Amino acid sequence: MNIMTHQIQIQRCLECRQYRWPVAPACPFCFAEAVESVASRGTGALWTFTIAHRAHPEFMKDVPFAVGIVALDESPGTVRLLGRIVDCELDAVRIRMRLELKSCDEQNGTYSFRPVATE
Amino acid sequence: MRDQHESDTLGEVMKFPVGKAAIVGAHLTEQSRKSTRTAESLAFEAVKGAIEDAGLKLTDIDGIVTPGGVEGAGWLCRQLRKPLTLVGSGAPGAVGVAEAAAFIAAGLCEVVVVVHARSGQRIGPAPQETRKNVKDAAESLGIIMAGFYAQMAQRHMYEFGTRPEQLAEVAVTFRDHATRNPRSVMGAKGPITVDDVLSSRPVSTPLHLLDCCIDNDGGYAFVMTSSERARDLKKKPIAILGGQTAMWSGTYDDIKENYYPSPARLTGQRAMAQAGVKHGDLDLLGIYDCFTITVIRLLEDLGFCKIGEGGAFVQGGTLGIGGKYPTNLDGGLLSHSHNGNPAGFHVIEIARQLWQEVEPNRQLKDPKIALCHHQGMAVLGRHGTCILALQ
């Protein structure tokens, strides 16, 4: 049973204050190990994407579907997550479009994002 | 990071054993959609053929480069009833060439066979192998390898204005090469146009079916030895003048790193510095071509053009026979063969061009020196670049 949440926890270095992704034992910028876990607001901009017309056999029922890399607002240069883009017409998916987290299955590392209605 | 795009990753040039090892023989088995033979049978044919091509005996082999580590290499030890040195990281292309050259120069072994064959298994979208390689989030999302390269292409188009027809040009050029190569899987289907690529079905936008490599059965092997020993063999040795390997990541979603720092860039700069060659000195290239975007990105990383200019660079026949940088003259992974671990094909086509033994309608006139690049694992995974020169 996977636990669905609506929050992404990201690591932030206590020394240089840089956010990082994915989880790592030390900061990739200053190598300090001291770290805090911060709840991301879950908003960001689409960095790149694809519309998948072919997928693993068990996902073929879903094609075509959109997958993309979302740069979270806390640190768009270092925190970028791969996720499904949902609740959006496929031909309306654009790089830089504003997105927010819809669901988050941390056990499987699966995230879905939807267009931001209003900010 | 973006600000590292043009940064110099060269650093101190390592002391590669320049010219101490050479490629001395090669063999390709039949490449086909559906082989009736086992992978072991194809691999043995390849090894035996490459050894005979070199004028050596099977019992001369004392080292092996092959995927799968100890488990992958054991069959040849049993077959030859002989302990062998397992060379390097088991990547059977330019990475393995660099590693074997270092092993040979250091005296760990003297006759190394680089081999891979496959029959029956497929990369994707068939389940097992891809699911093993594409980790974590990617796996749960269900996308196939093309999906990652597609995202790389989408970003490249956004950032640099690269167009789908520029990607398509790569596939068109390599298909032309394949039509001149009777061994190629796709050559018999005839030439294709940019429109053919763009109208082939979408696999993962912006990549179409013909932007993707094929996925088939087949085997290959080549043999390397010391330059001293190479002098007494059948063929003119192909010396390894430079070789460098580097890796960045084993996960496919690392395209999010904005492509940099690039392991491909580092290997290209160092290999060329070791060999003392410049781009303009090269008569032909082998560039890893699992997807059309891969070639465009790698040509940028390897310094043939500036970052972002790869799309325009490949237009106008640059990579074709008669172009400035003839590349993947066998038809590449896009149209010749992709047998799961296909980087050795690029080495072998370069070797056979340098030996002037390919079909006349794709044979370059008197080529002397080439660059061979190898990508493995993920989008930003393992890379190797070698400079190969006819002695």
B120 falls in which pLDDT band (50, 70, 90)? confident
pLDDT along chain A (119 residues), means of 10: 68 96 92 96 96 90 95 93 94 97 80 85
pLDDT, residue A56, reads 84
Beta strands in chain A (DSSP E): 4-5, 9-13, 19-20, 35-39, 43-52, 65-72, 80-85, 98-105, 110-115
The answer to whether the Cβ–Cβ distance between B253 and A82 falls below 8 Å is yes
Enter the ipTM.
Answer: 0.93
What tokens does B391 get? 């002695």
pLDDT at B18 over 70: yes
pLDDT at B131 over 50: no
Let me know: does B150 contact B160? Beta carbons within 8 Å.
Answer: no
Residue to test with chain B: of A8, A23, A47, A48, most B Cβ within 10 A: A48
pLDDT, residue B10, reads 55
Q: Does B144 touch chain A (CB under 8 A)?
A: yes
The answer to whether the Cβ–Cβ distance between A47 and B256 falls below 8 Å is yes
The per-residue pLDDT for range B328-363, each reduced to its tens digit, is 999 999 999 999 999 999 999 999 999 999 999 999
pLDDT, residue B377, reads 79
Residue A23 burial (CB count, 10 A)? 10
pLDDT at B182 over 90: yes
pLDDT, residue B1, reads 34
Q: How far is B172 from chain A (nearest CA, A)?
A: 22
- The verdict on whether omega for the bond into residue B342 sits within 30 degrees of 0, i.e. cis, is no
Let me know: does B97 contact B103? Beta carbons within 8 Å.
Answer: no
3-state secondary structure at position B78: helix
Q: How far is A39 from chain B (nearest CA, A)?
A: 19
What pairing do the DSSP bridges indicate for beta strands B284-286 and B369-376?
parallel
For chain A, percent of residues with pLDDT exceeding 90: 72
3-state secondary structure at position A46: strand
Q: Does B129 touch chain A (CB under 8 A)?
A: no
Let me know: does B99 contact B105? Beta carbons within 8 Å.
Answer: no
| pTM of the full structure | 0.93
In whole angstroms, how far apart are CA B304 and each of B94, B179, B272, B290, B297?
18, 26, 12, 19, 10
Closest CB to A56: pick one of B131, B136, B206: B131
The per-residue pLDDT for range B151-164, each reduced to its tens digit, is 999 999 999 999 99
B126 falls in which pLDDT band (50, 70, 90)? very low
